[in-house]
Structure 1
């Protein structure tokens, strides 16, 4: 079976966004990320346009790849805000590669067409879920930056970011706490209003199981932080495990439905 792909306009927007991300990464490599604070603005805007075209075009689509693309866009938005507060934070090259890969993936796998008869509350539920993905993805990026800084300190190497470790750690757990609140709201809405949102009662499918396991993992992480002072690599491992479970919950299950099963059909 031939899998759906984006329209010509969608591919043009995605290609332009990926090219702009590449230019932003090149500028970061030349200047060390200390100059051109608005270098990613064109890529960010084109990425948003590509997302809008997929969601609001003549035939709106959504699936695992647009969800990941929107998550990457939210992470880049958070990074743009943080750069204004902490100019010394440097992760433009990595995030540019993430944004370029995500926008091209969404063009290659735009997902299934959205039904016009779907509940209007479904859009709010999906928005909560994607915002939750974005917050936890931002937490993972910060945990990675924290781990990189710790390794560089042990090796007495020059730090890639002069942001203090305690600041990075504080930002990481703020994102985790905010993501946990949204994840709780998303699960509660799905459980209480499943018939309104999806036309059926709540059921324990793969998405529900992985989502609840992710919720438990993040709850343990926040409890361990509050009661036992978890930090550093131990906290990062739990965060990565929870993020992996959450990724499997929606993006993973949708990937199987949209790509694996469709290809086998």
Structure 2
């Protein structure tokens, strides 16, 4: 099956939905959550076809950087749409949908070294919990950015614009910590399954991911403890959230980028 037409359609739908949601946040167009969801669903379906074709049906796992990024962005978009029916997270589509479109472009145009590796059920549990955790934290990162912008506007007594579109500040903060709690549970499961099922989590090709993932876990654990015990919120919660997400981003894609893009160009 040719994936290119589906890839182009996914990009168009992602950009359409993300642009409308972005203009909504800027108060340039009225809120149309049904429109954003409809375009988002069409994008996710087309993107899913692209990911399925890329991974193939050979029983092996393609771990190239561009395919990994596209797979994770597809899962992020899917989770965002699913949560949007019960949680006010659709505003994050303004940032995450264009990012998903970008990963599709990278998968089409970026030369990459594809690593085919068989995966036992235990390894699959580790991989699945890892990408689910990263996906939730990616949504949390955008949620944190929106919270920071909302908090800044309220401090300056700006009650128009984005403040009129987003849910109340308390709701935004509660949603942020719900995402972090869910991400922490999955990140914990990922680390535990890695210890159990991987031969050596500190092998040369895994040590950076292991160290950075544990460091991110510590940051999120401290954030949750600080929030529960000391009442951390607002700008402090945003900084800790973004710091932990940055470490996870480096853990998941740092070495892949260095090996497949930087060193390959030398």
Q: TM-score range by the shorter chain?
A: 0.7 to 0.9
Paired residues of 1:88 and 1:162 also in contact (CA < 8 A):
no
Matched residues in 2 for 1:147 and 1:96: separation? 20
Which of 234, 237, 247 is residue 235 of structure 1 equivalent to? 237
- Residues 113-151 of structure 1 show CA distances to partners (whole Å, capped at 9, x for unaligned) of 3134x4343222211110010011111111112112222
Most deviating of 75-84 and 184-193: 75-84
Which of 159, 165, 171 is residue 161 of structure 1 equivalent to? 165
RMSD: 2.6
Most deviating of 76-85 and 168-177: 76-85
Task: Tell me the SS of whatever aligns to 1:234.
Answer: helix
Matched residues in 1 for 2:52 and 2:222: separation? 36
Matched residues in 2 for 1:40 and 1:78: separation? 11
- Residues 224-264 of structure 1 show CA distances to partners (whole Å, capped at 9, x for unaligned) of 11111110110110111111111111211111122122222
- Please give the TM-score of this superposition, normalised by the length of structure 1: 0.84
Matched residues in 2 for 1:193 and 1:115: separation? 15
- Post-superposition offset of 1:191: 1.8
Matched residues in 2 for 1:86 and 1:186: separation? 25
Q: Which residue of structure 1 lines up, in the alignment, with residue 95 of structure 2? A: 94
Q: Which residue of structure 1 lines up, in the alignment, with residue 13 of structure 2? A: 20
Q: How many residues are treated as equivalent by the alignment?
A: 252
Q: For structure 1, list consecutive stretches of 5 or more residues without a partner in the other structure.
A: 1-7
Q: For structure 2, list consecutive stretches of 5 or more residues without a partner in the other structure.
A: none
Matched residues in 1 for 2:89 and 2:175: separation? 14
Matched residues in 2 for 1:48 and 1:102: separation? 13
- Residues 72-96 of structure 1 show CA distances to partners (whole Å, capped at 9, x for unaligned) of 2233223323332356953443332
